[in-house]
Each structure stands twice: as C-alpha cells, then as structure tokens.
Amino acid sequence: MRDYRIAAIPADGIGREVIAAGLTVLEAVQARHGGFRLIVEQFPWGSDYYQQHGRMMAEDGLDRLRRFDAIFFGAVGDPAIPDHVTLWGLRLPICQGFDQYANVRPARVLPGISPPLRNCAPGDLDWVILRENSEGEYAGNGGRVHRGLPEEVATETSVFTRSGVTRIMRYGFELARHRPRRLLTVVTKSNAQRHAMVMWDEIAAEVAQDFPDVTWNKELVDAMTTRMVLKPKTIDVVVASNLHADILSDLAAALAGSLGIAPTANLNPERKFPSMFEPIHGSAFDIAGKGIANPIATFWTASMMLDHLGEREAAAKLMSAIERVTAISAFHTPDLGGTATTAQVTEAVCDALRSANV
C-alpha cells in the first residue's frame, strides 16, 4: 500500500464546501482503485482563523506543511478583510515559500458543457495555460511613501530573473513536447515593456533551441485575448508571466464554460517542496453556504494531484468519472445553467467511480 500525506486547507467561503466534496470523491477513488491511501490532515487556516489569531495561518505553518506530499487548497478571501491581507497571508506564502513556480491551468470544454463561444466545437478548446508563479509583477516588490498625503507615491516593480524565466520557459516547452500537437505560445508585451519582456522573449528563443520538436510563436498579451476568442483551435500550451497568465486563465476558464470547472496546480517541479492543488475560483461569498458551488474544478484539481503523486491510473479514472457526470445536464450546478447541488454532483461522481466502466 502506497501512503501519501495530504494537507487539506479549505480556508474561506465555498472553499470549505468544495474541499469537503473533493475529499469525499478522493475517498471513492481510493476505494475503487486500491493500492494507495491518502492520509489527510485538515488545517483550519483562513479568514476565520485571522479574526481569532490576527494571522491567516499558524506562525510555523510552512514548517508544518513541508512534511506533506501535497496540499489540497480551497480558496481565500473574505468580504470583511482586504484581499491583499488574505492572499499575502496564506496562499502566496505557500506558493513562494515552497517555490511553486509553475502554475499549470488546463482549460478544456468537458462533455455536456456548452461553451459561450459560437462555433466552438468539442475539442476546439483544449489548452494548458502555464503561469509563472514566483516573480514577475506579483513579486511584492514596491512600497508606499507619503501615505495619505497628496504627494503619496506607490511603486510595484516587476522582477524578472534570468533563472526564473529560463525555468518557466523550459517547463513550458517540456509541457508542449508531451502534448499531441506540440505547440507553444509565448505571451509577451515586449513592444511596450522594453526591459523585462524583451529579456523574456530572448530567453524563450534561447530555450527553444533545445526543443526543435516544439513549434512555438510569440503573441502580445492583448492580441492573445482576441486569438483565444476568435481562433481557439490555434492554441495548445501557453506560457505567460504571473499577471498576464492570471488574466488569461480566467478568460480561458470562462471560455471553457465556467470558473466552477477550472482547476490549477502550483508545482515545485523539482519536488523539493510539496506542490499545491486548488480550483482557480475564489471564495465566491455570493453563493457560499447555499450548497450550490460547482465542485467540478476541485475534482479536476484532485485528479491533477493524483497524477502528480504518480497515481496516473486513479487520476485518469477520476477524470473519466467527472466527464461522465458533466455530460448529464441534470448534474449541472447553477453556474452552468442547471439546478443541481454540490452534494448531488459529488454523489454522481462517486457513483460513476463505483460503476465498473469508468
């Protein structure tokens, strides 16, 4: 029996509902598959913890998480606390502390989902957006002076390092190499940002030399938004900076049908530290507590986690159970135009896993 230690951090809003659903489905995967066991420990960190303790996570939080094989994360954000406090207090310290520099965000139109684009046939939209997750525009490098005075100044300076850009480019080319179409689009803004983005482009061209089997091109981030909408079929793997990919991946999630479906993995590819798996969506307080959050993003995330742990067959089984359920409109939650509840979708995926033919 292979044992994996999983740290579950449901955190805020619908994060709690979807992580509970995800853990239920992961139990069904283990029962179906056999051969491995997930030993899950839950951490009560997040905005409620902040209200009680004045911090989003325990002081020794990273040390406690370090021992785990993976982190299964819900969402952070609470209307009562500024977003930069919640984000910089929990999610970003984990991503940065564990050097999870590769943020992998698949977007695909799953069976039964009607994407918002006219003329987008199944299979036309099958992308992986790779987000640089450790530096760039979200490096936290800046400050404010003369606070509150008319002459107040705030700076937010991007940080792009040769090593940081090289490693994300290499990861992007590797990812593209292992996909059937072997296409990589490098998103840039080197026409307007003439220092960091020019280096970004140069490094892409250098790394490309080692991947002659990958076809690649550059696209300005603004042009990329129109290409995603007008020519989805021309896109396969996309690598972009922290800010650019943050925006493009929300667009990708919407184009694939709903934010409630989109998963993400924050990877430390060298496996020196645990990687973190989470749905793309936030804590969605508008629907929290109503039992209608779409848990599919979290289930897909769970499948990515199993894949990362090396349980490829279990990951594939979970993915095929998910696709069976999305194919049936009676199991669509309100974000997909249906009336199903989180519990109903969860039960349907567990049922599919129990059935012999997934």
- What tokens does 46 get? 């997040």
Binding residue for ligand ATP (CB under 6 A) from 120, 253, 287, 314? 287
| 91 forms part of the interface with ligand ATP (CB under 6 A) | no
Closest-CA residue to 126 (of 118, 136, 134, 115): 115
- Of the residues 4, 138, 307, 317, only one is catalytic, namely 138
- The reply to whether 231 belongs to the active site is no
- What tokens does 207 get? 């790394």
Strand, helix or coil for residue 70 = strand
- What tokens does 188 get? 């840039």
Segment lying near ligand ATP (by CB under 6 A), choices 133-141, 143-151, 178-186, 281-289: 281-289
| 283 forms part of the interface with ligand ATP (CB under 6 A) | yes
Binding residue for ligand ATP (CB under 6 A) from 294, 303, 344, 346? 294
Binding residue for ligand ATP (CB under 6 A) from 126, 135, 236, 335? 335
Segment lying near ligand ATP (by CB under 6 A), choices 138-146, 222-230, 264-272, 289-297: 289-297
Binding residue for ligand ATP (CB under 6 A) from 130, 196, 207, 293? 293
| 17 forms part of the interface with ligand ATP (CB under 6 A) | no
- The reply to whether 213 belongs to the active site is no
Sheet holding 2-11, edge to edge: 36-42, 2-11, 70-75, 275-279, 263-267, 102-108, 126-132, 237-240, 183-188, 215-220
Q: Which is nearer to ligand ATP, 241 or 341 (CB)?
A: 341
| 338 forms part of the interface with ligand ATP (CB under 6 A) | no
| 282 forms part of the interface with ligand ATP (CB under 6 A) | yes
Phi-psi region of 112 (alpha: psi -120 to 50; beta: other; left: phi over 0): left
- Total residues binding ligand ATP (CB under 6 A): 15
**Distance, CA of 193 to chain centre:** 26
**Distance, CA of 119 to chain centre:** 27
Closest-CA residue to 305 (of 4, 87, 101): 4
Closest distance of CB 250 from ligand ATP, Å: 8
Rounded CA separation 160/168 (Å):
11
Binding site for ligand ATP (CB under 6 A): 14, 77, 259-260, 281-284, 286-287, 293-294, 297, 333, 335
Query: Catalytic residues, which ones?
Result: 138, 189, 222, 246, 250
